[in-house]
Structure 1
Amino acid sequence: MTDTHLPPLSVWATAQAAPVTQRKGRYLRESTAHPAKMLPAIAAHAIAHYTQPGDTVLDPMCGIGTTLVEALHQQRRGIGVEYEHQWAQIAQHNLDRAHRTGTHTPGRVLRGDARQLDSVLPSELRGTVALVVTSPPYGPSTHGRVTTGDAGVHKRLHRYGNTLDRGNLANIGHHRLLSGFTRILTATAPYLRPGGHVVITLRPWRENAELIDLPSQIQACGTHAGLTLTERCVALLGRVADDKLVARGSFFQRDFVRKQRNAGLPLHLITHEDVLIFHKPSTEVTTDCAPAPPQVDAP
């Protein structure tokens, strides 16, 4: 029997082209140094499905600006907030590149903490955003890039900024990350227009071989922020071939899976990301975590 209370599920074929191919010509080479880049096709699919040309798309943790660049190329306005100065600069350069290649839709990156959006975003943006596309930071669980040499194989570019910076969500531990992400979603909700959507892309990860079900935990964060879950989708990270799914796992993913299998744990490569889609109710709902905005007397 089908559970009618479960949100509908769909599969997004977002890795038919390799990540490097998806970014070629649109993103600076320096963008590859970011430890957890969103796959451009995932952002592009969400933007095409949940918005119309001229709409505003927001990413409160925009990294290298993937959401914003893909929005501009589809004639949507893009605005992002980024905590780390390095990535905020690169994101703005990526938007500038989009404008140089003939995209005239406005785009902007603001430097600041997504937990304090009211102090970063312009007030006139409240109630106007059609779509939020974002992803929580994965911190040291991201896979980075490979360096090989006489000393062997080493991981690099797999951490966010200064690891001593406790203001960075990637450096504060799993449970505080969830609390911080709930604050971000709560701060974001007033900027959505009624019926606007929030798309969050993320994946579970393993810690000491134990699976951390981050998607379900982030789903709870969205609910606490006063948003309503409407869909739970799958964005493929592997290519769909005629008779199989061709994984695109990184060196470290493959190495980790091989070692765990040798130890007797039958793991598999991750070939998808979970995509949670929330919407903002047409009427404000007051919750303990997401208080309704103050009422303004009519003139």
Structure 2
Amino acid sequence: MPVTDERCTPASTADEPTRPIPRALIDALDRAGEDQAALSVWTTAQVSPASQRRGKYMPESTAHPAKMLPDVARHAIEHYTKPGELVLDPMCGIGTTLVEAVHLDRRAIGIEYEPHWVAVARSNLELARTQGIEHDAHVIQGDARQLVTLLPQEYVGQAALVVTSPPYGPSTHGRVAVAPSEGIQKYWHRYGSALDRGNLANIGHHRLLAGFTRILAGLRTFLRPGGHVVITIRPWREHSELIDLPAQILACGRAAGLIPTERNVALLARAAETDLVARGSFFQRDFIRKQREAGLPLHLIAHEDVVVFRTAQHGTAATSAAQVTTRRPPRHHSRTTGRAA
């Protein structure tokens, strides 16, 4: 079921900050049976992102180009795990999944490719320790495509939950600064160096899907029987065409041998009594205004898709990536009728 295009809130102005919640967002629950998968709406932006991170994350965390909302990770951890269980994030960035896990009395392990974000994630975990949160949490630097060799054997078959998100490539927004005579400048809007081909964000869409499929297959080694994988995803635009990444990630999970169980909506806008109040970034709003001036009726993204998989209830975990058979990842698919940006 394509859940992307209609569940969005138009760009707002100071005089008109909200719009009615689209009927499609409400009707999606009734149509969930068409996909034979559960569907629910997570109200994960009732508090602003800055307020969600306040006191739990070091200031340098704000520079990451594509941070997961803490309340999204927190909701998943509370819903799919119990205190003391292990939560894993193979692409942990600033460590949002890990930080939320330890604050909920779970154990946590993460992998991050870029050394800078490894250091930030470790600092965030150390901040939790200084606040009296005794935890078993670690961050390992490395390529998540090699996680079977990166993670210690003690974690095989132990993870109750994986929470992660693929890199979004050109759709990240970064931060802004205004320089005299130079106008608005953009920075911290890329994943490391654009020349680093080891980074999934820099290798092209087809290879990103293949790499992410490999990561999902490797996760089966460390998930316990019946363990869950929660992936937050949003579409992006490339050359004005909407790439339906959520549907592609669903195909990747199936190819990796995981069982799809849910396709949910995590709101990026505050749900008021009758309205959605969008929390779009400067670049999102600027992009929307320019596209509308050019005649394209685009809208702010008001949600992320949350795709949930699980492993089989019985059976043993694979012991190496070579033992996991995967099919070819889905081919690139674009469409031009979307309403997200």
TM bracket (short chain): over 0.9
Pairing 1:281–2:312 present:
yes
Letter in 1 for 2:143: D
Of 250, 256, 262, 1:231 maps to 262
Q: Are the aligned partners of 2:269 and 2:302 in contact in 1 as well (CA < 8 Å)?
A: yes
Of 71, 75, 98, 2:101 maps to 71
Q: Are the aligned partners of 1:201 and 1:275 in contact in 2 as well (CA < 8 Å)?
A: yes
Deviations 1:32-62 (A, max 9, x none): 1111111100000000000000000000010
Counterparts in 2 of 1:174-213, with a 5 A limit?
Answer: 174-213=205-244
How far apart are 1:292 and its partner, in Å?
5.0
Give, in whole Å, the separation in 2 of the partners of 1:9 and 1:154. 40
How far apart are 1:290 and its partner, in Å?
7.9
Q: Tell me which residue corresponds to 2:60.
A: 30
Distance change in 2, residues 1:245/1:290 (3 Å): farther
Q: Tell me which residue corresponds to 1:7.
A: 37
Pairing 1:56–2:86 present:
yes
Give, in whole Å, the separation in 1 of the partners of 2:37 and 2:219. 22
Q: Are the aligned partners of 1:226 and 1:285 in contact in 2 as well (CA < 8 Å)?
A: no
RCO higher in structure (CA 8 A, sep ≥6) = 2
Q: Aligned to 1:47, what secondary structure does the other structure show?
A: helix
How far apart are 1:168 and its partner, in Å?
0.5
Q: Tell me which residue corresponds to 1:262.
A: 293
Q: Are the aligned partners of 1:197 and 1:278 in contact in 2 as well (CA < 8 Å)?
A: yes
Of 25, 32, 44, 2:74 maps to 44
Letter in 1 for 2:178: T
| Unaligned runs of at least 5 residues, structure 1 | 294-299
RMSD: 1.9
Runs of 4+ in 1 over 2 A off after TM superposition: 1-6, 283-286, 289-293
Of 139, 143, 161, 2:192 maps to 161
Pairing 1:242–2:273 present:
yes
How far apart are 1:144 and its partner, in Å?
0.8
| Unaligned runs of at least 5 residues, structure 2 | 1-29, 326-341
The TM-score with structure 2 as length reference comes to: 0.82
Pairing 1:252–2:296 present:
no
Q: Tell me which residue corresponds to 2:162.
A: 132
Q: Are the aligned partners of 1:186 and 1:290 in contact in 2 as well (CA < 8 Å)?
A: no
Q: Tell me which residue corresponds to 1:96.
A: 126
Distance change in 2, residues 1:118/1:186 (3 Å): same
Equivalent residue pairs, number: 292
How far apart are 1:242 and its partner, in Å?
2.1
